[in-house]
Amino acid sequence: MSPTPTPDSAALAESTVEQPSGTSRRQFVGYVLAGTTLAVTADVAWETAAPSAAHAAGGSPIPSNSTFSDHYDFLDLYRDSCLPTNHLLALSITPDGKALFELPRQEAGQGITTSFAQIIADELDMPMEDVIVTLSDGRPELVYNMLTGGSTSHFSLWEPVKMSAATARTALATAAAEKWAVPVSSVKTRDGAVFGPDGQMATYGSLSEAAASRITKPLDVKLKSKPGQFVGQSIGRVDARNIVQGQKVFAMDLKIANAMPTMVCRPPTLNGTVQSIENLEQVKAMPGVTDVGAISRGVAVRARTFGQCIDAIRALRVSWGSGTIDNENNDSLTAKVASVLLPISPASPADEVIEEDYVFHYRSGSPLETNCAVADVRGDTAEVWGGHNMPIITLQRIALMLDVPEENVIVHCTTAGGSFGRHLFSDASYEAVEASKLFGKPVKLMYHRTDDARHGRMHPMMVNRVRATKQGNSITSFVMSSASSACDWTHGLGEIISGSATAQDPRLGFSGNKEFGNLSVSMGFYQLVTSVPYNFGPTAVYLNEIFAYDTLPTSAVRNVYSPDTGTARELHVSRLADAVGMDDYEFRRTFTKDDGWRAVLDKAAEAGDWGRTMPEGTAQAIALHSEYQCKVACFMEIDARPAMVNRKIREAYTGPRVTKAIMAVDAGKVINPRNFQANMMGGCMDGIAQALTASCHIEDGLPLEGSWDNYRYTRQWNVPYVFECFVMPDNREIGGGAGETGVAAGQSAAAIAWGRAKGTLPTENPVNFRDPLGYVVKSRIPPIPQSPINGRRFAR
């Protein structure tokens, strides 16, 4: 088989097996694992994991102190937590010449099965189509090394995966050299084969047994010193054909014997409880229904079809206990969050104070695929299938639920239809396990869309108080005090000890205050992801939270704090620009910390044609954001004028529409530029939605939004006509994260653009929160129908 064609494939077609000499970061010890065919792993040394120092401070009018994340951020923390178990990640070569790697991360549409195939194919000198990357089952022995979140996958696995592939290549070359009785330095590898000095050739498959070892043994290995064919190339996704042909297999597509559709009748308020089922026997007798019973979060119904499940749920008469926020609404929740803002020290009398509070409301974390899982509990064993960003803690908590040993539980990771933080928690898997145990039968449990919108997890709301001081045209200090509704961190770093310590779970011997346990993690994570890329003199950022983590169902939604803190910061930077009489671009260019920032700022401004004359009611904006060791500049143009009636769908939009979005990103080494740009585009669309239209309106203890029809995510009518993402040239060995990086920059730019078009910068996101249907002429909208299960209407 020939390699996937790329522009540089001819020049990079082969490599000589380099012999280790001296000491180098690219030199390490690999291991050939005991077995009948070749399987390898690598020893990633601790000293390779020094803090990345991706952002260096530079000169400015008044230099600022760095924030914690400038020196050590969540990527660094998570990479270091994986180091002790990286040697347990194995790559194998089969007799038919395939390279197999079980990826200990969740594929949820971000494209990591493709990018890791690129890495392996490059380092192994083999065609990409011969690299098979699958999703690993939950493996408790990996401890922290199965967390998918925080845009960490590439950063944490880049080195161990490259080293495993290099170890396999070296073992295969050594086996061929021994077979031909020639020095290993005289053989070359390319296209999945080893070539000898006298015309010999052996495929990797034919060498897999010879390269294997009956005992695990060390092997001196060196990474390739030249670029390969695949890393850095825009290669199509390995699963693209299956996706567009509808052949991609998700959890609900699995054919598990006797696993029948199951749904849950849920309470009318968040965290309400079942008191009694008044017509249990009548519902059990309905067509298709096999089982009905109460579980911890509602009443589960198992039937032959999902439609029959819905019919049964509609017929159920349940007496519900109270929930945790029954009498609350957005205003009361906002007031409580704002009440825990930590104070900011008084300013110097000589300083002019510029201070503002910025409010960011709850928003849904629903991906396209609703919460779902398949479970089969039999006796003292359980097997579960679903999208799991943290399969280890899922397995361990299921073992605790069932009071069985961990080795009796198997958790499979299926490709997920999006995640955005939702799959950090395995709520559907736990409910499926409960139902399967209760009924004694396998279940295929699925949330319907309204359940997902109202009882799924939300991004916690936040209030940011930002105070800057100035003397003349110099900014003399910058402080942000953040208060948030508690984000649930009880998943820990993906395993039971850190998760239970956060939750103070008494089942594992913890007996402390659960609010404090969760808050300590929140404060630490906030510092790892919150930064200020400007020289504003003394700088400080800090967080406080209110509520127990289980008061409202929350989770990270494409990060937790940075979209809100970043947008509050950038809105305030634009206020400072106004205060000193500079435009947004000029001010940012003057006060940003280093040339890297100025490079992305200049690129975005140039590509967007910053400063061109704009009609009244339209505006330009530009914003900066640093996250996951990427520097992002986002330029936007917005049209906030009333639009014409769209006769086809009989709605008249009163704006606004982002008409152009340009992003420039310094991300270091980018494995697949096209996929990176796609992630940035998705993040930008999320940001536009969160700034302009999308949020949860909570009334009497439950979100009113019940589906995509009234949860106003970015739609076709407000997607930019023009989107471009410029990836700056490589400047370091390992690239930053892309999955969440575009959100805060996009949200900031959209909020600023709206403010510039309207003449007043907003203090509340989304900007339409007080009039959620204000972008649509209400008289032309037909009434929103009753939810199929929970009959609440969206407030008009």
- Read off the pLDDT of residues 673-699 as tens digits, 9 standing for 90 and up: 999 999 999 999 999 999 999 999 999
Residue with tokens 């279940």: 443
Q: Which residues of the chain have pLDDT under 50?
A: 1-13, 19-25, 46-60, 645-654, 775-796
Three-class secondary structure of residue 744 per DSSP: helix
Judged by DSSP in three states, 187 sits in: coil
C-alpha distances out from residue 135 to 101, 132, 412, 418, 741, Å: 8, 10, 8, 15, 24
d(CA 558, CA 548): 21
Element (H, E) at 355: strand 352-360
CB 362 within 8 A of CB 390: no
Distance CA 560, CA 74 (A): 12
Burial class of 286 by CB neighbour count within 10 A (0 to 12, 13 to 18, 19+): middle
Q: What is the largest CA-CA distance in the chain?
A: 85
Residues contacting residue 346 through CB under 8 Å, at least 6 positions apart? none
Degrees, nearest 5: CA angle 130-136-142: 125
Q: Which residue has the tokens 């959209």?
A: 750
* DSSP letter assigned to residue 34: B
Helices (H), 345-476: 391-402, 427-439, 449-455
User: Helices (DSSP H) in 83-234: which residue ranges?
Assistant: 112-124, 153-180, 204-211
What stretches of 2-150 adopt beta strand conformation (E)? 15-16, 27-32, 39-43, 91-93, 99-103, 131-135
Residue of 463, 526, 487 whose CA lies nearest to 764: 463
Phi, then psi, of 533 in degrees rounded to 5: -85, 25
- Of the CA atoms within 13 Å of residue 239, those in its CB half-sphere come to 23
List the structure tokens of 172. Answer: 């295969």
Which pLDDT score, from 0 to 100, does residue 584 have? Answer: 98
DSSP state of 567: H
Please list the alpha-helical segments (H only) found in 440-561: 449-455, 496-503, 514-529
Using CA atoms, how far apart are residues 390 and 147, in angstroms rounded to an integer? 5
Classify residue 558 by its DSSP letter. S
Contact 207, 172 (CB under 8 A): yes
Report how far residue 299's alpha carbon sits from residue 295's, in angstroms, rounded to the nearest whole number. Answer: 6
Question: Is the bond leading into 656 cis (omega within 30 degrees of zero)?
Answer: yes
Q: Exposed/middle/buried for 99, CB within 10 Å: 0-12, 13-18, 19+?
A: buried
The Cα–Cα gap between 391 and 27 comes to 32
Please tell me whether residue 329 adopts helix, strand or coil conformation: coil
pLDDT at 110: 94
The dihedral sign for the CA sequence 557, 561, 566, 569? positive
Rounded distance between C-alpha atoms, residue 765 and residue 565, angstroms: 12
Reduced to 3 states (helix: H, G, I; strand: E, B; else coil), residue 774 is coil
Gap between the Cα atoms of 658 and 655, Å rounded? 9
**Structural tokens at position 571:** 């809105």
Q: Which residues pair with 468 in a beta bridge?
A: 354, 478
**E strands in 547-666:** 618-627, 630-639, 645-646, 651-652, 657-666
Looking at residue 784, the DSSP 8-state letter turns out to be P
Would you say the pTM of this structure is higher than 0.85? Answer: yes
Contact 281, 270 (CB under 8 A): no
Nearest partner of 490 among 478, 498, 482, 499, judged by Cα: 499
For strand 458-459 and strand 381-386, is the pairing parallel, antiparallel, or unpaired? unpaired
At a CB cut-off of 8 Å and minimum separation 6, what does 776 contact? Answer: 651, 652, 653, 654
Phi, psi of 92 (to 5 degrees): -125, 155
The structure tokens listed for 271 are 């965290």
Question: Which pLDDT score is estimated for 714?
Answer: 86
CA distance 51 to 74: 11
- Looking at residue 259, the DSSP 8-state letter turns out to be -
Token pair, residue 727, equals 């990836």
Q: Which residues contact 334 (CB under 8 A, 6 or more apart)?
A: 359, 361, 461, 463
Q: What is the DSSP letter of 65?
A: P
Q: Which residues fall within 8 angstroms of residue 321, CB to CB, at 6 or more apart?
A: 267, 272, 273, 274, 275
Three-point CA angle 297, 303, 307, nearest 5°: 90
